[in-house]
A and B are shown apart, each in its own frame.
Chain A
């Protein structure tokens, strides 16, 4: 376990550096094509636009690190925000202010959904993919039931986090940085974080060593839900409206950020910083394409190519590291054998 952890600590920065390299290269290409891309204002734009995805992806990283998956995040955001705005008494698309209780209701509903996901996975003993596929439909269905598919205005206190700034830095950026630092600390430096990694590495071993597997699983889905709703609060605050489309396919964006960030879909391997960089890369691509006034038809092509490049670069680096490590092990073994023969 100790050996695995120490190896992981060495590997994470390398993966993140590779991803950082991809982001730098992509940024330079966009900068050459459109010098305004790297202006202070636009860099702030990129960070602001990446913030909600970064936050949701940090939560998803905990889930995927255990070998699980949460397909319900987009629907969960929708339901939590719909319930919160409905609780404020807002029923119109074009008028009505939310109340200060919006945050409390949104977080409470999200935590309940996360708890429900975790408990259902434990009780039903089926793969999280199936359970959260079900809750994806369930949560969106409940949200649709509340609004009757109508839009809702998002004004008043609900916009404070999404649009505020502290010392000239947008609040969403600050929130994202705090969530990344906190998530990274929990994952790397706490017993809980190490248990999450161990559970993803091998559930059987985790059980045999007496780890609280069920409680861990519930905890990661609750963390995912909490991060998702914070992401939703930032998003709704920024756009100023709540629509049926909120969170549709968002799970794919979030999962893509996590996977591009180097976290294994099979669990037990990954990093929070990598996840944040993955989310940043997704935003850089869209922002860059906007900046160079790209044709509307090339967005998906470029996005796909850069993501394949990122995964390929990561894969090559990982393979090279693995070969180097294996070579070093062989060398140590040969030296040990030779020393034994001399003795």
Chain B
């Protein structure tokens, strides 16, 4: 094959890919301008990664930035601590007066915090706490243990004292949110000997292991009573597995498998409205992001808050979803 023909093919391949993209909407993390009603401060935002949940946080940060009159500059570290470190330095060199960071590595972020502070730029952390919250001027996140605990108590209520087989999908073993949601669940059911966790499946927050884990558990325990889902993104695969096992039945009907999930995204909101999920716990993203930005602005002005806040989620059920929809970030999207 001649070089010219190969070049033509390469160009063709790029054109086909570009064509596939042409009809698609695009949206990437970028810069969000505030209304400039404040002090025209630029805040750097360093995300560990981009996911649907982070996209929800970005939207809430953009909204809060507008209200508070600050400008945001985003960087995404693709789950690499080294990249995050470089990006934080870049944000500082681009004039960020404070940084809101979601640490990719809860230990490695210490060096970045020290380095930024040496440059006079305070760091506040959002969602994912560093190993020691005293390292930062402010931390705000959800309360994964409290959310897990609420889920556990819901299962105790649903079991109503009867023998109860529960499947636990575990978020991730190397992640604070995954570990503490799980520990909260276990604490929530510890006084209910009628509830047995028949299987705990590590999922790394992904839908594929959730699907296979539910399939395998339903195979062994066709009379499974409940499933704990640590992130709403795993609701669709749960549906698939339940449909295949003829157990996809709404709450209140014979054969229903109880489901309690956490996050409050659009999957969770719809599932609760449809009556297939008995309770979802919405992470308070709007409050978290606004608090983080307010703390970052205060720290940039030399008034650090010096505290850590863990905000428990909002539990909502088919009975009260309409009433609580305004507090569930996924119901708005």
Residues on A close to B: CB < 8 A?
Answer: 34, 36, 39, 41-42, 45, 48-49, 83, 86-87, 91-95, 105, 108-109, 112-113, 115-116, 119-120, 122-123, 142, 144-151, 153-154, 163, 212, 214-215, 218, 235, 238-241, 243-245, 248, 286-287, 290-291, 293, 295-297, 299
Contacts and interface: CB of A to CB of B under 8 A. Distances in A.
B254 interface: no
B52 interface: yes
Contacts of A287: 212, 216
Contacts of A87: 20, 23-24
A119 B14 CA distance: 11
Contact of A290 (B25, B205, B213): B213
Contact of B199 (A95, A112, A115, A290): A290
Contact of B236 (A48, A108, A241): A241
B319 to A, nearest CB: 20
Contacts of A235: 208
Contacts of B118: none
Given A41-B219, A149-B54, A239 B266 contact: no
A287 B7 CA distance: 46
Nearest to A42: B219
B267 interface: yes
B13 to A, nearest CB: 4
Interface in B250-303: 265-267, 269-271
A327 B255 CA distance: 66
B220 interface: yes
B26 interface: yes
Nearest to A165: B244
Nearest to B14: A116
Interface of B: 1, 3, 6-7, 9-10, 12-14, 16-17, 20-21, 23-29, 50-52, 54-55, 170, 173, 198-202, 205-213, 215-217, 219-220, 233, 236-237, 239-240, 243-244, 265-267, 269-271, 333
Nearest to A93: B266
Contacts of A48: 215
B244 A116 contact: no
A113 B233 CA distance: 28
Contact of A145 (B23, B28, B202, B217): B28
B265 A93 contact: yes
Given A94-B269, A105-B20, A115-B13, A148 B26 contact: yes
A245 B205 contact: yes
B151 to A, nearest CB: 17
* Of listed A212, A215, A248, residue having the most chain B CB within 10 A: A248
19 contacts: A42-B220, A48-B215, A49-B215, A108-B20, A109-B17, A109-B20, A115-B10, A115-B13, A123-B6, A144-B50, A145-B21, A146-B26, A149-B29, A214-B1, A238-B240, A239-B210, A296-B200, A297-B173, A299-B202
A42 B237 CA distance: 18
Contact of B17 (A86, A116, A144, A240): A116
Contact of A241 (B24, B51, B201, B233): B233
Nearest to A84: B20
B243 to A, nearest CB: 8
Contact of B266 (A92, A293, A296): A92
A163 B220 contact: no
A290 B28 contact: no
A205 to B, nearest CB: 20
* Of listed B12, B25, B27, B236, residue having the most chain A CB within 10 A: B236
Contact of A119 (B6, B206, B212, B243): B6
A218 B6 CA distance: 10
Contacts of A151: 52, 233, 265-267
Given A87-B24, A151-B267, A248-B206, 19 more contacts: A36-B220, A42-B220, A45-B216, A93-B52, A108-B16, A112-B17, A113-B13, A145-B28, A163-B240, A215-B1, A238-B240, A239-B210, A240-B239, A286-B209, A286-B212, A291-B219, A293-B199, A296-B201, A296-B202
